[in-house]
Amino acid sequence: MTPKLLEKLHGSWLSFIVFFKCISAQSLLLFILIVPLKIFGQNDYYATDTLKRVGINLQNGGDLVNAQFCRVDSSGTIIQFTAYEVSEYGFRDGVVYISKEIQINGTSKRVFLERLVEGKNTLYYYKGKHTRTFYIERDHSSLIEILKQDKNGIDFHRNLLNITSDCPKIMDAAQLTTYSKNPMAKFIEMYNGCTYESYPFFKYGIILGYGFSKLANSSSQTDNSLPSFNFKYSGGFTLGAFFDSPIYLSYFSLHVEAYYLKNGYSINQIIGNKEFDFVANTVSITLPVLIRYTYPSKRTKPYFNAGGLFNYLLRNDNALYESTINSGIIEFNGLNESSYISTKQIGFALGSGVEYKLDFKHSIFFELRMSKLYGISDSKSFNKSEINFFTGINF
């Protein structure tokens, strides 16, 4: 190698070493700064105006006690601090209490408010002996109390509409939220973002539709020499009710129904020299328990659901007639009085549909659902398949 080439290589190598050391120094600095923050955030703490103690053992006394005292377990001894002594304390799970001055029965008192949402608009919760209430703090200004119903008889929905009038996108959510921690926290988070978001809420209503069902042999029936019947679908109207409850305020919900269905079945089948006639009339109550996912669009919302169902027959009249044909002569063998349809059935269901929003609370939906049922009170009974077309409205 030439001296000039060696000089260039040496310079490049030194530049690489300097660059690596700079990167290492920055990484080390970030590590030094971030790791303690993570450690602190995963520990109980409390703070006063002059100091902050981290890594202590706080005792959670529930909403009522936590609003009055910060309780510290010091080697088995519980030390209680009031909101006049401690400005803030927090548990390792992220629950934080802030010392604030509020009015209780016309008297000023400093208490601990649980901070539910922190941001442009901060939401606090207070639980007293005979009251529970929420407070909104805007940009660290004074607290605005949100009573469930004020002295003028105005409920909190109206107050929320007034307070958040600068964000019309969440008007529906203001009328649907309930007066409890998680729903109120979700609402204020929506307000801070001021973006439209479909707000999950509890629904109930009625359903009606038309259902098709057919019977099919089970494996235990074919093993017992029962002919393999080829049933056709039997139709009937359905009528029922439902409720739909969001799971942790997500777009997944627990959807439970109860609906009524009346069916009649009949089939004539010749197999070899035997002729079979089966007739049945049933009236059933079906109880689906489904998990539903609803896509959070603005007005038209597709949804999918799946789960189990239980079917109970209020009426179960069924009979099998058998006759033999010998040399053109029909010998009637009489009536087989065994029950071929189980009074109790369990199974599964899959369905999808679309929900159309009428106003902030009411909507109609249309759904196609398929289900399969198996007898549990009689293992030798027919299985049943159903196809249902539902429509409904929530109140």
CATH code for the domain of 349 = 2.40.160.20
Q: What length does the chain have?
A: 395
Q: Does residue 252 sit in the same domain as residue 382?
A: yes
Q: What is the pLDDT of residue 281?
A: 93
Q: Is residue 99 part of a domain?
A: yes
Q: Does residue 180 sit in the same domain as residue 261?
A: no
- Cα separation, 153 vs 150, in Å, equals 5
Q: Does residue 276 sit in the same domain as residue 380?
A: yes
Q: Does residue 309 sit in the same domain as residue 339?
A: yes
Q: Is the pLDDT of residue 276 over 60?
A: yes
Q: Is the pLDDT of residue 23 over 70?
A: no
Residue 283: CB atoms within 10 Å: 15
237: closest CA among 200, 275, 207?
207
Q: Does residue 292 sit in the same domain as residue 318?
A: yes
Q: Is the pLDDT of residue 32 over 60?
A: no
- Cα separation, 23 vs 71, in Å, equals 44
Q: What is the pLDDT of residue 105?
A: 83
Q: Does residue 311 sit in the same domain as residue 222?
A: yes
pLDDT digits (tens, 9 = 90+) for 176-206: 999 999 999 999 999 999 988 899 999 999 9
Q: What is the pLDDT of residue 4?
A: 46
Mean pLDDT of the chain: 87
Mean pLDDT of 50-55: 94
Q: What is the pLDDT of residue 336?
A: 62
Q: Does residue 174 sit in the same domain as residue 105?
A: no
Q: Does residue 126 sit in the same domain as residue 160?
A: no
Structural domain count of the chain: 3
Residue 21 has, within 13 A of its CA and on its CB side, a CA count of 6
> Domain ends where: 114, 146, 178?
146
Q: What is the pLDDT of residue 284?
A: 94
Q: Is residue 78 part of a domain?
A: yes
Please give the residue range of the domain that contains residue 176: 155-197
Q: Is residue 366 part of a domain?
A: yes
- Cα separation, 113 vs 107, in Å, equals 17
Residue with more model confidence, 230 or 254: 254
Q: Is the pLDDT of residue 7 over 70?
A: no
Q: Quick one: 175 exposed, middle or buried, by C-beta within 10 A (0-12, 13-18, 19+)? A: middle
Q: Is residue 16 part of a domain?
A: no
Q: Does residue 292 sit in the same domain as residue 389?
A: yes
Q: Is residue 18 part of a domain?
A: no
Q: What is the pLDDT of residue 29?
A: 47
Helix, strand and coil percent figures for the chain, each rounded to 5: 20, 50, 30
Least reliable range by pLDDT among 32-41, 288-297, 361-370: 32-41
pLDDT tier, 221 (very low <50, low <70, confident <90, very high otherwise): low
Q: Quick one: 56 exposed, middle or buried, by C-beta within 10 A (0-12, 13-18, 19+)? A: middle
Q: Does residue 223 sit in the same domain as residue 369?
A: yes
Q: What is the pLDDT of residue 70?
A: 97
Q: Is residue 130 part of a domain?
A: yes
Q: Does residue 215 sit in the same domain as residue 300?
A: yes
Q: Is the pLDDT of residue 37 over 80?
A: no
Q: Is residue 190 part of a domain?
A: yes
pLDDT tier, 261 (very low <50, low <70, confident <90, very high otherwise): very high
Q: Does residue 178 sit in the same domain as residue 95?
A: no
Least reliable range by pLDDT among 262-271, 303-312, 360-369: 262-271
Q: What is the pLDDT of residue 271?
A: 79
Q: Is residue 284 part of a domain?
A: yes
Q: What is the pLDDT of residue 82?
A: 97
